[in-house]
Chain A
Amino acid sequence: MANYLIKRLLMLFPLLLGITLITFTVIHLAPGEPVEMQTAMSPKVSAQARARLREFYGLDKPLHVQYGMWLSNLAHLDFGRSFAPDNRPVLDKIKERIPITISLNVIALILEFGLALPIGILAAVHRDTLLDRAISVFVFAGFAVPTFWLALLCMYFFGVKLNWLPISGIHSLGSDALPTLARFWDLAKHLLLPISIATFGSLAGLSRYMRSTMLEVLSQDYITTARAKGVRERVVIYRHALKNALLPVITLLGFSLPALIGGSVIFETIFSIPGMGQLFYQGVMARDYPLVMGILVIGAGLTLVGNLLADLCYAVADPRIRHGRG
């Protein structure tokens, strides 16, 4: 186990390096420069001023030098300064946006697993019954529905038509003056739609997966043996089968992270939630290189750590890895 842990931790470095390399390449291969965005609008900007601006941002140096500089700054957790007029450190900008995105995604993730696993197990246990069919229909709808469209419909129905829920932002105007409980209620009302839709969108894949692993486990010989010995069906399913069927699901925990973070762009743009997704969208539109690269590295880094944690949980849960060669 200790060997396994050390090996995995050592692997982090080349992977992180790869993440920075891909991020840098992707952003710098694209034609066009941020300076153009800032200067193209005003014909008064002279060629000298443009050159000065490029020099100021370090864009006049060869690519590998730029990468080296960026990387060594990253090593000190310096993500550079935003190209936006406010010119603030990228890390500060991300720091103030990340909590809302992370908490939204964590709540959605908890709901997703809390709902999808029972749904999948139910479908597998009651295989080929009406219940299983109904769940299948729901699952396929969940797979196919574009989440941004669902968000749009819910905004229309619950926000405009019924006027039950607010459809943008995370606070009502003047909510700061409210007492704590009312303020929390206000926040919850704002987040209900985005969180439910995010959860619904990811529910399908996971519950389908749970159903198929559960079915696979239920067809194993030791389950047949247990049944033949006269063990009650409940015990067979919840004691013998469930534990083994849950094992592969752990790995999925790590994998659901990038999808959720990626989806936050869409939710935060639609519902005007001031999170990392919205920041990224704004950064991309303004060609704010340091900001875009910073968010890409942090997003991928978070996933890397998530995957590592998931794999470690798996290793702890699976005795074959725990006691094996690793």
Chain B
Amino acid sequence: MNGPLREFWERFSANRFALAGLWVIALLFLLSFAASFITPYDPDAIDAWHVLLPPSAEHWFGTDELGRDVLTRVIFGARVSLKVGFVAVGIAVAVGTVVGLFAGFYGGWVDSVLMRIVDIMLCFPTFFLILAVIAMLEPSIWYIMVIIGLTGWMGVARLVRAEVLSLKSRDFISAARVLGASDRRIIFRHILPNALSPVLVSATLGVAGAILTESALSFLGIGVQPPTPSWGNILTSGKDYIEFAWWLSLFPGVAILVTVLSYNLVGEGIRDALDPRRQR
């Protein structure tokens, strides 16, 4: 590792909570990739003789109303959540970065128009907008990711724009311009790399938000469709059987809580590590 990266890592790993969050996320990825090898059960195998069993040595998290192993479904559900988090935030960051770069670099009417669009988008109760679009489309996890991404880029755009505005007047940008660098080269080679660090923080926290949104959508029945397990839709049946089967509601919720918490801790850790003024 070279200088600044090493320094960043040293600072980051000094933060025990952030490090723990990173380990949990790594573990989750491992679990979800190796899901079929870890558990002896099939996530979709219906077993009418073992319906709604409480947690036991055989079924650590109990079974659901169709006799499926809840632990298995929670592990497979991790795939959905991790994927949604990554792709949705990827889209949000890509759109937000491009918008922010253009607005900040070109200024003038380009800036006014783009920032007014940001203002307008920010007025909508995001969950309403997502709900309206998702419910009208064929149920698909890809739509969910795209829609969450397309309704979540505004914060990134503002961040990048602010960063570009403060970088634009620096000497090294003027120097590049004097040397005859094109706009594109200045934007992508000189400004973008310098504007990335606040984006990294906001993206990590954004993953947490996207996971929460997906689980809420699936809980309402318009996200990931059964039988594909997701933490949100396991909780839907948890709600229906809450009087008899607490385990159906408890474990998927804890899974969401731990995952979101980990991403938040990592995000805060990155922020503190990038900003020397913010010592804990």
Contact = CB atoms under 8 A, between A and B. Distances in A.
Partners in one complex: yes
Interface of A: 14-15, 18-19, 22, 26-27, 30-32, 128, 140-141, 143-146, 148-149, 152-153, 155-156, 160, 255, 258-259, 261-263, 265-266, 269-270, 280-281, 284-285, 287, 292, 295-296, 299-301, 303-304, 307
Given A146-B216, A280-B131, A140 B265 contact: yes
Nearest to B260: A144
A62 B242 CA distance: 49
Interface of B: 116-117, 119-129, 131-133, 135-137, 208, 212, 215-216, 219-220, 235, 238-239, 242-243, 246, 249-250, 252-253, 256-258, 260-261, 264-265, 280
Nearest to A284: B135
A133 B215 CA distance: 29
A133 to B, nearest CB: 10
A189 B116 CA distance: 43
A299 B125 contact: yes
Nearest to A30: B136
Contacts of A145: 257, 260
Contacts of B137: 30-31
B259 to A, nearest CB: 8
B125 A300 contact: yes
Contacts of A258: 122-126
Contact of B129 (A26, A301, A307): A26
26 contacts: A14-B116, A22-B124, A26-B129, A32-B136, A140-B264, A141-B261, A143-B261, A144-B256, A144-B260, A146-B216, A148-B216, A149-B256, A153-B253, A156-B242, A255-B122, A258-B123, A258-B126, A262-B128, A265-B127, A281-B220, A285-B135, A292-B132, A296-B132, A299-B124, A300-B120, A303-B123
A257 to B, nearest CB: 8
Nearest to A32: B136
Given A259-B125, A280-B128, A292-B132, A146 B256 contact: yes
Nearest to A204: B264
A15 B121 CA distance: 10
Contact of B128 (A19, A146, A296): A296
Contacts of A152: 235, 238-239, 242, 249, 253
A90 B41 CA distance: 50
Contacts of A156: 242-243, 246, 249
A301 B124 CA distance: 8
B246 to A, nearest CB: 6
A266 B130 CA distance: 13
A148 B235 contact: yes
B242 A155 contact: yes
Contacts of A269: 220
A144 B261 contact: yes
A266 B136 contact: no
Nearest to B209: A143
A262 B219 CA distance: 15
A214 B228 CA distance: 46
A15 B131 contact: no
Given A19-B123, A140-B265, A155-B242, A149 B253 contact: yes
A155 B212 CA distance: 20
A97 to B, nearest CB: 14
A287 B136 contact: yes
Contacts of A148: 215-216, 219, 235
Kindly name the residue among A27, A141, A153, A259 whose own CB sees the greatest number of chain B CB atoms within 10 A: A153
Nearest to A34: B136
Given A155-B242, A156-B242, 12 more contacts: A27-B132, A30-B137, A145-B260, A146-B212, A148-B219, A149-B215, A149-B252, A156-B243, A266-B127, A284-B136, A287-B135, A299-B124
B257 A265 contact: no
B182 to A, nearest CB: 32
A269 B135 CA distance: 15
B267 to A, nearest CB: 10
A295 B256 CA distance: 30
B124 A19 contact: yes
Q: Taking each of A26, A143, A258, A300, which has the highest tally of chain B beta carbons within 10 Å of its own beta carbon?
A: A143
Nearest to B265: A140
